[in-house]
Amino acid sequence: MAKYIYNNQHAAPYDTVEATYQFTDVDGNQVEGSYSHDNLLSLFEIMGDVLTEEFHPTVNKNSLWMNGIVDINKTIHITIRPYSAPV
């Protein structure tokens, strides 16, 4: 099992909120990363797109492309906090 980390996929000086996420991909690998935006609504909107990205090639595929590489039978963790907050 591999572990993939995608830190600060989007960052700008005016960002105020950050989402960190962790999930298992369809091959059983752990994926984690973070994404920030300037407001909460935009962050929520973009997270749907972020989680359906094909972060890396996988052997297995989801039956629905809308699930990206996320194994939807496992827990998905998303934490949202102020961008400057300590981890």
pLDDT digits (tens, 9 = 90+) for 48-71: 888 888 888 899 988 888 888 999
**Residue 80: predicted pLDDT:** 94
If one compares 3 and 26, the residue with the highest pLDDT of the two is 26
Which secondary-structure segment (H or E) carries 83? none
- Interatomic CA distance for residues 19 and 36, integer angstroms: 6
Please report the beta strands in 1-87, taking only residues with DSSP state E, as ranges in sequence order: 3-6, 17-24, 30-37, 77-82
- Which pairs from 73-78 meet CB under 8 Å and 24+ separation? 74/23, 74/24, 75/23, 76/21, 76/22, 76/23, 76/51, 77/21, 77/22, 77/23, 78/19, 78/20, 78/21, 78/47
Which pTM was predicted? Answer: 0.80
Per DSSP, the three-state class of 67 is: helix
Tokens of 22: 């962790």
Q: Is residue 84 scored above 90 in pLDDT?
A: no
**pLDDT tens by residue, 23-45:** 999 999 999 998 888 899 989 88
